[in-house]
Chain A
């Protein structure tokens, strides 16, 4: 079976390719914008000499290149997404790119349309109305107020909605995975769920909230298990590891294992009060200061939830490594990479 991985050169994409090879897959096409940046993939491929790992240069803004990339493919794992840039750029790179991809799939004869595995995000859930410590599982409603969220969450929501629209229209074989906070060597050091660096201090906003961590290899394993499982068609799976820790635990372990930091803890009630002031000031001052905090954003990001991976486990997924080991590996890497600390 030929499997196409989009975004294969990215932090998660590389691990997806590795897990596919580990699961015995032998025909993988890796889509990258620039194949000269595929050295890490070549290193991985070299460990599996029996497999064919093809580096395929394509930009999802270019429909002709997408069509070429789909030739002979039975399964696509769509991991390409924008993590930064202006809102328009992020929308172009995630949503418009996905539309181009889906149009290319739609143009194929029905029998040649591949199974599609979409890497979505926890960001698509509407968690603000749930209340603190509510369980987030696959039945949690999708966000209804995307404009009030961060741009990344909005782009991921719109992207996933579009995949379901095409799935309905074309009866596609679609599987959606919604990872929480993907971490590991090479990731950012802190999710915003833990806190933010402001004015030379680390403002700790996560308190005792659980952080929905998923180590990059565990997340890639989940994607591969779902991609290769016939039962997953039309299903959604949250991706979060076992034994996840709280924001406070993450921060104290980080300070112990990576470096000490000056932190300012902000309790939730104070955060909500301050967010209300920031939002009102933004309106009253006609945008003189941006509404980076609003009560809705704060409730979404720092309200605190519990997370279920029961459905993923029922499919047969097991973490490749424990959270304890994942954090150890990450912090060891971070310790030697201080420049990326922010």
Chain B
């Protein structure tokens, strides 16, 4: 197996996650990192024992002959950085969101494919152990055809990322047309869109700001609660991004013609809800025990994964990168179809148009 030479551009907080995963991956070596603030590149290199660090992407690309570059910068520069990497013959792996608009996302993918290279996007939770099991269930036909999908993602404005955002009115998230939603809703719609028929869906979105405080800066304009209703053909979906409900949840539920299945990303469970088999109140005694048994069984599965050292926090990123690097080596299909990425971006654009109409006008 060819060992790929990997670089990272953008040495902020999320780059740590990439470096942590790459440190333990076989078939890839993180050889260099880059940030326009050289000191940030230095700290990442020192902490992870990475041989090279640079303040210029051009210099890193020229000297390191990289097979893959992970682009972990804010999305506004993804397209330009991708073009630089592609010109140097490097495949790219990008943080979400891919770009500020679907138009830019399309141009990015065209730049990559036009050069005969590959790209993927860090939708890592969708490749976590439980999410992979969920995909196997859907592919097996066990739930029949999807009728309705519910995707929920919570966000903690007081958490590590939330604090960085709320404490800095100049944070790049506040500069995106869709602000917080644009940074997070990939995680809703990259799960929903693959379950919808491949036609342009109806999109009805509304959003509001629930937190009462006024800080008299750009953080005040950021909405924090989003609800979206989608329908394409015979499948509907409801997506929520919720900053105030506790616990901070991350779930996906698919109601099918044969059965329903629920994936909990945070708790790493995939559960078929129990249903009443027998009539009367006696029949209602059983389901709770059925559910307990299903959760118990899931607990054992997770314990097995832990014992086999397959239960890391970023286990999904390892799986996704393994698949992506394999597709680079073989020239095969990338793990996330480009059409899915673009359909997700189209939906996101339409949501942003509805909940931040003024910002969308400006960005045009």
Contacts and interface: CB of A to CB of B under 8 A. Distances in A.
A87 B16 contact: yes
A231 interface: no
Interface of B: 11-13, 15-16, 20-21, 23-24, 37, 39-40, 43-44, 46-49, 160, 164, 306, 309, 311-312, 318
A43 to B, nearest CB: 24
A89 B47 CA distance: 14
A86 B23 CA distance: 19
Contacts of A314: none
A96 B37 contact: yes
Contact of A287 (B23, B44, B306): B23
Contacts of A158: 39, 43
15 contacts: A85-B160, A85-B164, A86-B12, A87-B16, A88-B11, A88-B13, A92-B37, A96-B39, A96-B40, A146-B46, A154-B46, A284-B309, A285-B309, A287-B23, A287-B24
A147 interface: yes
A255 B160 CA distance: 31
Contact of B47 (A85, A87, A284): A87
B11 A286 contact: no
A92 B11 CA distance: 11
B171 to A, nearest CB: 11
A95 B38 CA distance: 11
A53 B318 CA distance: 55
B15 A154 contact: no
Contacts of A155: 43
Residue among B16, B309, B318 facing the most chain A CB atoms (10 A cut-off): B309
Given A88-B13, A89-B164, A287-B23, A154 B43 contact: yes
Given A147-B46, A285-B309, A287-B24, A89 B39 contact: no
Interface string A154-183: 110010000000000000000000000000
Given A158-B39, A286-B312, 17 more contacts: A85-B160, A87-B13, A87-B43, A87-B44, A88-B15, A88-B16, A88-B40, A88-B43, A88-B44, A89-B13, A92-B37, A95-B43, A96-B37, A151-B47, A154-B43, A154-B46, A287-B23
The secondary structure that dominates the A interface is helix
A146 to B, nearest CB: 7
Interface string A251-292: 000000000000000000000000000000000111110000
Contacts of B160: 85-86
Nearest to A99: B39
A302 interface: no
A284 B312 CA distance: 12
A96 B47 CA distance: 16
A91 B20 CA distance: 18
B232 to A, nearest CB: 39
Contacts of B48: 147
B13 A287 contact: no
Given A85-B164, A88-B13, A288 B311 contact: yes
B40 A92 contact: yes
Contacts of B46: 146-147, 154
Nearest to B318: A286
A310 to B, nearest CB: 33
A85 B11 CA distance: 15
Interface in A137-153: 146-147, 151
Contacts of A86: 12-13, 16, 160, 164
Contacts of B311: 288
B20 A287 contact: yes
Interface string A6-34: 00000000000000000000000000000
A287 B24 CA distance: 8
Interface string A70-108: 000000000000000111110110011001000000000
A91 B309 contact: no
A181 B47 CA distance: 24
A303 to B, nearest CB: 22
A77 B230 CA distance: 58
Contact of A95 (B11, B13, B39, B306): B39
Contact of A91 (B39, B306, B318): B39
A260 B40 CA distance: 43
A259 B188 CA distance: 46
B342 to A, nearest CB: 30
B40 A91 contact: yes
A34 to B, nearest CB: 10
Contacts of B16: 86-88
